[in-house]
Structure 1
């Protein structure tokens, strides 16, 4: 690797991803929980999509938003983890410059999109609890389509400058990225130019998206809590709040690792590099893994449909075995 440290590159054809610096000897062991989480994320989110598609009762705004979240999670985890596993298993560290910028775009774009979907889901819960009689009117299919389009356009327009700016910088120091994937700042820090534009822009995007989305979610849930406390009985309050518990759990699963990763990256001066890289990977893997589990366990309609599906499969298999024995 020393040859890469001394190579002067103006326009690199490839970058070298180091994986988790300092933990190279344990890459294979680290890959085991990473791979398990990825498999759970893929199977869980595909199951959510299948159940919502095949169950007419779930063709409602809440579950449409859940499908958007599942698709976003699938793309977000698949953008980084396959390459991470090739680094861990086969030491395949090189990545094409264009592929690196593409990975950077999809990684940050779908992170912003997921945050926007959580805001839309909070608005859905607000309308369902505070104005239930007009829920189907306010969140009609055309409105849902506009919500989805707005989420996609916001993510695309905010993140598109990331690779465009990164592409114009000269890279003459090194092409080694001390990370498992092409995270924006990890890449542009390699440039031998004044990257303050990229630095300030990424910071403003991160702060504006996080602060705005958390503020909108907080406003929605403030109104929801006010409506809940007006209900006459404790049972009614608990039942109504229970409809929000899945969404609140998903918000925590997404924003807590994200906020921790952001703070350690920006202000964690004494944080070891390997710890920061691990946290960045956890942020990309844990929410896609937990989201389908949370909704599968805590949402009655999805849980019941899943149980019926497995019961039907086991019954058919049992009958087939009995026929073969006869």
Structure 2
């Protein structure tokens, strides 16, 4: 509408004039700018939608929902995913002590072309000592190494990494051997440390560890009511985001307890079905709106500029044509 009024004003007051090419370009530029501003409702609409979304869901509430999903994430996979060694394996365990662990694979030749492969897991421990003590066998043995159960030679064989900090040396080494498969405090739900959606501004490692600690306590330390309460919160979250779900919190809590106690069974009976794709799309969209706002959405960029250029061409052509006819009349 503003473009139309401006064009009428231009035709009434600035026709019958012979403009130099440079002045004509200036008028064309002004018309182009007016065209752009006239159709800026595309941008205003996107801006308004973003503001509306933020008024309905604050960043604090979004982060709270992410934290809940990060804690419960190992309970939410499709049952076929529980057989994935990438998603679920002892190397992903972050808590309790002595985890995390490192894997050492030994292969032994049994017969021609046949090898026996065995995996052993060791805790990852840290030892800090003066560099001078490390270089002196007697001093190191008498002051520190006795406390960890082996001597300097074995320590050197177990070293994973050394960091020299001023006059001290930090040694990260393979500690005691552990067996996650026969550990009563370990089940498949502990063997996953992936976050559903990281919270912005907090280190990923810290979020993974915090989620692992809370998850472990829900399974092994707290009573079943705490686990049930978290699944009820999950059910509320899914309904809030309008995600289709078949999860019954009470049944899912019972399934978790069952598979904790029957760690060698396949999880093909876990009742955790919901529309995973819809939830993923919802949070991906929210992430983009919160942290990568694009007020001129990619789906309408081409339309927007086509309309702007089209309106400008029509308006400028009308101006040139009317101006030419009035001057030659």
Whether TM exceeds 0.5 here: the answer is no
The structure richer in strand per residue is 2
TM-score, normalised on structure 2? 0.23
Larger radius of gyration: 2
The structure richer in helix per residue is 1
